[in-house]
Amino acid sequence: MQDALFPLPNERGLDDWLSQALSEALQTVSMGSAMPDSDPDSWRPALARQDFETPTEPTRAMQWVIDTLTTGLVQPTHPGYLGLFNPAPTYAAECADRIAAAFNPQICVYSHAPAAVDIEQHVIRQMALRIGLPEGSSGHFTSGGSEANLTSVLCALASANPGFRQLGARAYDAQPTLYVSRESHLAWLKIAQSVGIGRQAVRLVDTDGAGRMDMQALAKTIDTDRQSGCMPVMVAATAGTTNAGMIDPLHECRELASHEALWLHVDAAWGGALAASPTLRSALDGIELADSVTIDAHKWFATTMGAGMFLTRNPTLLGQIFDVATDYMPAGDSPDDLYINSMQWSRRFIGIRLYLTLTIAGWQGIAQHVEHSVDLCRQLSDQLIANGWAQMNDSPMAVACLQPPGGGERVTDIVNAVQQDGRFWCSETRYERTPVLRACITNGRTDAQHINALVDLLRTLV
């Protein structure tokens, strides 16, 4: 059994087997349904029987998992998946994941994995420069946007009151408050709860009728909170709302945050990829003025899941927030010792996926991917508008919130019918309180033919 678990380096025949099996499975997926087309009853009995008492031959074990996933998922690698940014991953990222797994470096401490940490930190610094943060800005990879956003709240709380580190929320004699638009990503509620300031710390500021933070409403909410004894600590602007790709007024947010002495975070979880494109990046103007920024690699940059980034112009603050000394860890006081500069301790080599994606494609490769997405999204909405639909959002990004000719009430039926058909996955959401069909074309495998086929399908449904 030891041989199956820990084969010698020259006895890794399963690598080739696995490559072949994956290639076949992904081909099956791409020609099949974007929706799960088997139901849980087809795998649950086998799982229930699996008591791990009898070892299974490795290729049989893996083939079962691959077959089960081939029919048992909404398929992000399917070209008709017009979903929630879960990307068809770049092949480079997929290979990178395999390389990271094979070496399995522990990158929480620089001295344990100097090469891996340097590769990651290089990507982080390049990304910070790409969005215009000043020289000396830094940060780290995270599990995703939520961890990065959580880190921004810790920064805001520690920078507004250095006692926060020891005393937590009790360092404040008032309720700390933070400001996001009501179109923001609502992980903010869980984040506020987990950092100990409670969900009521989150102010969901009204939008301007076009999905962006209403600046007057923001100023007024801050005023009202101060008068009632709260302690505002941060504004988190969204650069690319999850729903509709709308970008809050970043310059105005900066001005107000500076005037009120608040931390300014910009959540560009999916929108950050616009920075790759010379023609589209101006939509992010003002992001360079943020104190900190979230960008997910696993959304529009199309790496495999579990890859976000936290970037900040003030990285020394991270060392103050996350600093700990233990006897069993190699002594560290360097910004490259990630366990004392970030939330995670044991750490996977996350950044290799974006490193290899960017190295192989270049910024221009990502720019093409992003621009292609935006083009396809425009093709979809133009064709639907010609068929009596209305596009409700006006985003520079690749997401369209569309209302069918009959009005919002028909959206649920139409989206259900699309999902039933199986060739496409899109979703229903609300934009400025109106139900819409949401199509997000960030999938690198989608092309114009798929868009035409979706339009044809929608024509038969309305």
Calpha distance 194→410 (Å, rounded): 39
Residue 242 lies near ligand PLP (rule: CB under 6 A): yes
Segment 301 to 320, residues that bind ligand PLP, using CB under 6 A: 308
**Distance between first and last Cα of the chain:** 59
Least distance from ligand PLP to the Cβ atom of residue 85, Å: 6
CA distance 212 to 248: 5
Looking at 120, 296, 336, 337, which residue binds ligand PLP (CB under 6 A)? 296
Query: Two tokens at 194?
Result: 């987990």
Per-residue binding string, ligand PLP, 196-235, x by CB under 6 A, is ----------------------------------------
Three-state secondary-structure class, residue 43: coil
Of 118, 147, 166, residue with least CA distance to 292: 147
Q: Which of 121, 149, 157 is nearest to 294 (CA)?
A: 149
Q: For the CB of residue 23, give the shortest distance to ligand PLP in the complex, in Å.
A: 28
Interactions with ligand PLP, residue window 68-97 (CB under 6 A): none
Q: Of the candidates 87, 139, 144, 408, which one interacts with ligand PLP according to CB under 6 A?
A: 144
Please give the residues from 148 up to 187 whose contact with ligand PLP meets the rule CB under 6 A.
Answer: 149, 185, 187
Q: Which CB sits closer to ligand PLP, 141 or 270?
A: 270
- Name the one range near ligand PLP by CB under 6 A: 6-14, 23-31, 238-246, 247-255: 238-246
Q: Cβ 284 to ligand PLP, closest distance in Å?
A: 13
Q: Which stretch binds ligand PLP (CB under 6 A): 236-244, 348-356, 416-424, 449-457?
A: 236-244
Options 8-16, 144-152, 158-166, 191-199: segment touching ligand PLP (CB under 6 A):
144-152
- Mapping DSSP onto H, E and C, the string for 356-384 reads HHHHHHHHHHHHHHHHHHHHHHHHHHHHH
CB 185 within 8 A of CB 348: no
User: What are the tokens at 315?
Assistant: 């990285």
Closest distance to ligand PLP from the beta carbon of 269 (Å) = 3
| Number of residue whose CB is nearest ligand PLP | 145
Contact 428, 418 (CB under 8 A): no
Query: Is the CA virtual torsion 255, 256, 258, 264 positive or negative?
Result: negative
Q: Which lies closer to ligand PLP via its Cβ, residue 210 or residue 461?
A: 210
293 forms part of the interface with ligand PLP (CB under 6 A) = no
Which H helix or E strand runs over 415?
A: helix 411-421
d(CA 332, CA 324): 9
Amino acid at 17: W
Using CB under 6 A, list all residues that contact ligand PLP: 144-146, 149, 185, 187, 238, 240, 242, 267, 269-270, 296, 308
